[in-house]
A and B are shown apart, each in its own frame.
Chain A
């Protein structure tokens, strides 16, 4: 028995089965995963790794295990999509942990959360003073959504009655020194216009630009290959490999 070869064949089977099953299960991002989804992912991954290297059993039972877990995950997804009550039981629901600036101790106890955990999550959002918080809601994925008190909210152009133009999203016109003509046409511009604009940034040829984007408001962002920065700032605190 050529164990190395068998492991390679089993690895190919597990890898692509896992890829197909995860594509089938959907596009949930890591940040959207609930605690149960996270455990589910670990379990399915663990079965796939066992299928690869555990030669003391056949690959078939592992494959069936993999498909069964993915099938059950899909069933759960289907139930939570169709039945809101089940979704609340299975995936949990947002919980208010700070209301009108007051910490809900009983809720924290029920959620098995310490106040230090909440303070950490607040600091992650740039809030270091509890006086700033009006509402804080613990989401099912473990993140904290915070509504600051009105007096601590940032000033917006609307508050000052300043008219602003929508900036829209920016579109790439040059990527890695290559002109994307399709995007240029979409923005109702031509190459001549782009070259005239780039000249203002000291660029004579498109290949000199690393990235050029244009937003709906007509604002251009240009980055050249030559950045002309004489001293590069090093933010590392200890000498590394690079």
Chain B
């Protein structure tokens, strides 16, 4: 039994470590209704494209909430720079929506989506 544990404990530990480090792609997928980040981006693109600024204002809040939820899960397997870039994009999207600036809002939304795809991979 002891000999088994001597091999089993390190192997199990290594497997757990690998799972933690590689969990980003799985954990960034939505588990509920409020943490679907790509869906929130798509909704925003649609709202901004049609210049429904009141809707966009609400959607950007749900995007922020979704991001905060996902961030707690992916922080152990992602790089800080990618996380910071998404944070900055969200801040700029908020500003662009407030200024009703369609061009900048769309630019930032697509950039946020690009960083999202890169996250944890």
Contacts and interface: CB of A to CB of B under 8 A. Distances in A.
Give chain A's interface secondary structure class: helix
Interface in B60-96: 71, 75-81, 83
B121 to A, nearest CB: 9
Give chain B's interface secondary structure class: helix
B101 to A, nearest CB: 28
A112 B49 CA distance: 72
Nearest to A60: B21
Interface stretch (A2-10, A135-143, A213-221): A2-10
B10 interface: yes
Interface in B12-46: 13-14, 17-18, 20-22, 24
Contacts of A60: 21-22, 77
A1 B75 contact: yes
A232 interface: no
A113 to B, nearest CB: 41
Nearest to B75: A1
B21 A63 contact: yes
Nearest to A12: B17
Contacts of B83: 1
A56 B14 contact: no
Contacts of A1: 71, 75, 80, 83
A242 to B, nearest CB: 39
Given A57-B79, A60-B77, A13 B21 contact: yes
B10 A3 contact: no
Contact of B76 (A6, A20, A57, A63): A6
Contacts of A9: 20, 76
Interface in A142-200: none
Given A13-B17, A13-B20, A59 B10 contact: no
Interface of B: 10, 13-14, 17-18, 20-22, 24, 71, 75-81, 83, 120
